[in-house]
Structure formats: structure tokens, C-alpha cells
Structure 1
Amino acid sequence: MEVMRQDSPDRLQRQAIVFCLLTGAIWGFGFIATSQSLSAFGAFQVLLIRFAGAAALAWIPVLTNRKSITRQSLTRGVVCGLFLFGAFALQTLGLDLTEAGSNAFFTSANVVLVPFLAWAVFRKPPALRQFGACLLCFAGIGLMGWTAGGFSLRTGDLLSLGCALLFACHIVSLQWAAGQDPDVINAIQMSVAALLSAVPGLSVRWPAHPGLLPVLSLVYLIAGSTWLAFWLQTRAQEHLEASRASLLLATESLWANLFAVIFLKERLSPAMAAGGLLILTAVYLTEQPASVRKTASTTEPSSATQTEEP
């Protein structure tokens, strides 16, 4: 029994790593689904549909299991939802004013911001290896998103940087919410994002005949990219530091480019290959020590703040 208790934190962390990588893959394919849904629906209509549908799914386990909603879980869930909606709103506005490559690049800045935000909130400085891996990952994402025209700082780019800050805040807020019931947190944050999406989403004309493919894409965005992905992320961050989680989630860019090559028949450029290699190297550098590291605390394995930095 003692051995099982000692191995449990490592097993939970390995599971959390898999959850984050799976979340990145789900979000990566979500780029294809989003492009299809935007062919018929407006950007904020897509946000309203995906968050409202995901909220409905998220409340099912909460209501069927009669889980209690404490004041603390309500407060933290609302904060997570505010950051979640704000990030997606700025990303949507930024995407309308700049190229997708630039938007993805500046949005990915959250992988560098998260260690410093976590440091400010939890008073725990990022390890040198962790920070170096984040910079390497950021460079890899930049290579994968680079276009012939390069990047320039415009209004859309500034909005994308604001989006990156809010996504970083959301990742840190999920670590702050660790210890609360993840089903409750996920249901509350989805509901908050859906309510905030209602005003801009309902203020425009809706398509009368959107077509089958955009509708199926929305189904994927609801069940996959929103409900399942954020459920996995919320559970993973019970056992994983925000800085490590942000780097693993940043593999979204790698998955998105891979799926674009497979499903959209896009050409794999040398820059994309080099960027993907940098991202994989960054993930390896930050996760390789986890297999040999002994967790310092075994009394509270569910708290992300109890885990050592690699």
C-alpha cells in the first residue's frame, strides 16, 4: 500500500500530461472545424453555439451526480469563465484584422507568459529548464506560423497579444481552481462564456440554410474542442503546474499543421518541419526529468501547487 501511495502522484501526472497532449490534438483539429463553421456562421455566433452546447453537456454530470456547488467553486469557476470568454473574443476580433499565421503566433505568446503569471500568483519562480523550454516552444510556433510576408505589429496583432495574456490568465486560473470539483468548474466556466457570448452572438442575422458541413463542424466544436477539451484541461491541471500545462497545450499548433497536411492536403514546408521539431524538443526537455523525478509531497497529490518544477 505504501508503494501505491508513492507511485500515485507520478501516475496522476503522467495521466495529466496525456490529457494536455490530447487537448492540444483536439484543438488542433478544431482549426479545420472552425474554418468550416465560419463559412456559414459569424464568429460570435460560433462562440455562442459552442459554449452554450458545451455548457449543456458540462452540467449533465453535475446534475445527475447531484454535485454541490460551493461558494468557492462558484467564484473560481466564474473567474475562469471570464478569462475564457475574453480570450476567445479577442482572438476572434484579432483574426478579423490580421492573418491567421500572425494571429496564431501572437496568441501562442501565452506559453511564455504563463510561468511569470504563475510566479506572481503562487509565489513560485519558474525553473530555468521550464522557462527555456517555453522560449523554445514559442520559437517553434513562430516558425510554423511564418509566412512570406512575415509578422508586423498591427491592431489585430495587439488584440492577439491581449488574447494571449487572457489565455495565460485562464491557464493560471485553472491551477488556482485546483482542488475544486473539475466537473463543477467546467460547467460554470462554460456557462459564463455562453452568457457573455449571447449579446454579440444574437445581435446579428442567423443563416437560414447553413448547410450540413458547417453544422457538423459546430457539433465537433461543441462536443470536442470545447466540452471535452476543457474538461480534460481542467482535470489535468489538478495535478500539473500551469507552466508545464501551457507548454503541452501549445502543441496545438503542431497538431493543427499536421492535420492540415493530412486532411487539407497542405504542403509540409521546411519551416513547418523545423518548427514542429522545436516544439517536440521543448516538450521533451520539460517532461524528460518527470520519469526520474521523485515527487516531494505525497500527502496532497491533487494540488498542482504541491508539485516540483522539473
Structure 2
Amino acid sequence: MPPLLMRFRVDLLLLLVAMSWGSTYLVAKELVAVETVIALLAVRMLLAAALMAAIIGVRRKRITSAELAVGIPIGILLGAVFALETFGIAHTSATNAGLIISLTIVLTPLVESIVCRRRLPAQFFVAAVLAIAGVILLAGNGSFDPPGPGDLLVLGAAAVRAIHVVTMHKLTSGQALDSLHLTTVQLRTCALLFTAGTAAYGESIPQYLTRLDPGQGTLFLYLVLVCTVFAFFVQLWAVRRTSPSRVSLLLGTEPVWAAIIGITFAHDAIGIAGLAGIGFILIGTAWGRSIEQRHSRNRRVPDSKDLVLEKDNLTALK
């Protein structure tokens, strides 16, 4: 596949993930209460892991020890993201959650620069600050209220998400690992953690399931199929074909989609300041993506060994 077409496909799929994640805050707000967070996450991960196991069963390929060694630690990080984010949603508004989590676009390059011991271009930080300003405008619609406990929990989720993205990139780089297998190991790890957690906190899984009506059941399936299986498989697939910063910059459009969905379905009011914030986020994200892409291209040209490894990665997905 030509490089330009590959980049377009990666970017398009990441934007679809951002759209689906932008909708999760409104959906999750309809499904979750403080006492049901762990049960909701347990059922969500169990169903997603079961679906992935069925897909792997059809392919008749076993998960390797190398895929377990990589998938379990990033699965633990993923579980932390889900827990912090969902508890945050239970304590704050869906709009605030969708906006604060977008600070990952700033945190990921910082984490990556620390891990890789390299400096980012100054222009990148200007673009990131512009995006942050957009988040602030969009969140407060012209004013900024002090963050509450739920806001701080979502901020913690943004920090762990940045670590998760960078860790995926570091652990999978240069290895011919199957993205389906890695996604499955992550989801199984989360499922085990949250299922065990229901024994210590909140409602049990049977109690939670009996509370769901048909409408909530449909929303729950959407969370599992679109926002979990599809989204995290695409994220894992894409992070091996581009940089962590570029992934987070594209996923950084998530608050814009959250705002659009909120306006369309929840009839949230967005004033002039909020609309300006949407513009700042879009400009900052696009500009930062362009800067990071040029910086990555100038920093290193792949050698023949890298090209062979990339070919192996593509082959593993067929």
C-alpha cells in the first residue's frame, strides 16, 4: 500500500475511534452510578474479551508467550484508565469528562520525550497550549470553575492513558506481534481485574445486569462492540504504524466529538466561547500533528531491518 494511502487510512480509523470515544461519556453517564462502576466495567470487559476469543478461535492461532508478556502489563494500565475515567464520570458531567481526558494530547508527548530522552520542537508546545486553551474555553464556555473530585479522577485517567500509549509503542516496537492477540490479552486482563474487584466493591455482576432495561442494554452493547473492541484494536494497530504523539493528537479531537454529540443528542448549549474552543482544539491538533510528523521524519529514516519488521507486522494481521 502506498505510504500516503496508509497514512490516510491510519488517520481515518483513529478519527473514527475519537468519534466513538466522544460518545462514550454521554452513554456511560446513562449507565453508571458510583456503586456500579466496577460491575459495569467487569461485564463490559468480559463480553469484549469473549468476542475477541471467538474471533481468535476462528483464526486458529494461539496467543504466544511474547504476546502475553506485552499484553498483560499494558492491560493493567488500560484497566487503570478505565477505572479512573469511569469513576470520574460518576462524579462529574459527561462534558467535563470528555474535555479533561483530551489533555492526553499534552501528556503523551511529554511522557514520550522523557522515556526516549529527546526534545520536542518548541512549536509543538505552542500547538498543545492552543489545544489546552480550547479545552478550557469549551469546558467553561467562557469561564473556568475549579476542578472537582470527578474532574481530578479523569485528569488522572488522561495521565495514565498517555503512559499506556507510550508503553504500547515501546513494548511492541520491532516485534512481529498479532494486534488481535494483544487486544485480547489486554481485555482479558481487565476482565479478570474488574471481576475480582466486584467482590470487594459495589454491586455484583448479576445485580447490575438485572438493573438494565432494553434501552440500556443496547447502549451497553455499543460500549462493548464499538467503543471497546473496535476502538482499542484500532489504537493498538495504529500505534505500531505511527508515533504515540500522532496517535494522541488525532485522538485529541475526542472532546470536539463529545461536544458535537452533546449538542445533537443531549441538547447541551454551546456559546461563542465554546465554539471558539472547538476551533482552537481543531487547529492545535492539526498543527501539532503536522509538527510532530515532520519532526519524526527528520529524526530518523527507517533502515532495512525496520522495513522487514514492519512487513512482518502487516503479515501478522492477515
**TM-score relative to the length of structure 1:** 0.84
SS of the residue 1:42 aligns to: helix
- Counterpart among 122, 136, 152 of residue 128 in structure 1: 122
- Counterpart among 254, 273, 276 of residue 275 in structure 2: 273
One-letter code aligned to 2:193:
L
- Counterpart among 23, 26, 29 of residue 35 in structure 1: 29
Q: Distance in 2 between matches of 1:131 and 1:287?
A: 11
Structure-2 residue corresponding to 1:307:
none
Q: Does residue 88 of structure 2 align to residue 94 of structure 1? A: yes
Structure-1 residue corresponding to 2:47:
53
Decide whether aligned partners of structure 1 residues 287 and 14 sit closer, same or farther in structure 2, where only a CA change above 3 A counts. farther
- Counterpart among 194, 201, 205 of residue 197 in structure 1: 194
Q: Distance in 2 between matches of 1:237 and 1:77?
A: 14
- Counterpart among 251, 254, 260 of residue 252 in structure 1: 254
- Tell me which protein shows more helix as a share of its residues: 2
One-letter code aligned to 1:229:
A
Shift of 1:160: 2.9
SS of the residue 1:297 aligns to: coil
Does the Cα contact within 8 Å between 2:28 and 2:89 map onto a contact in 1? no
Q: Distance in 2 between matches of 1:63 and 1:124?
A: 42
Q: Distance in 1 between matches of 2:70 and 2:100?
A: 27
One-letter code aligned to 2:69:
T
Q: Distance in 1 between matches of 2:214 and 2:184?
A: 28
- Counterpart among 71, 74, 79 of residue 80 in structure 1: 74
Q: Distance in 2 between matches of 1:141 and 1:74?
A: 37
Structure-2 residue corresponding to 1:218:
220
Does the Cα contact within 8 Å between 2:95 and 2:259 map onto a contact in 1? no
Does the Cα contact within 8 Å between 2:26 and 2:94 map onto a contact in 1? no
RMSD: 2.8
Say how many residue pairs are matched: 296
* 1:16-54 CA distance string (max 9 Å, x none): 111211100011122232122227982222211211111
Decide whether aligned partners of structure 1 residues 171 and 61 sit closer, same or farther in structure 2, where only a CA change above 3 A counts. same
Q: Distance in 1 between matches of 2:139 and 2:6?
A: 33
- Counterpart among 164, 169, 174 of residue 168 in structure 2: 174
Question: Which segments of 5 or more consecutive residues in structure 2 lack a partner in the other structure?
Answer: 311-318
Question: Which segments of 5 or more consecutive residues in structure 1 lack a partner in the other structure?
Answer: 304-310
**TM-score relative to the length of structure 2:** 0.82
Does the Cα contact within 8 Å between 2:141 and 2:271 map onto a contact in 1? no
Give identity over the alignment, percent.
26
Decide whether aligned partners of structure 1 residues 120 and 59 sit closer, same or farther in structure 2, where only a CA change above 3 A counts. farther
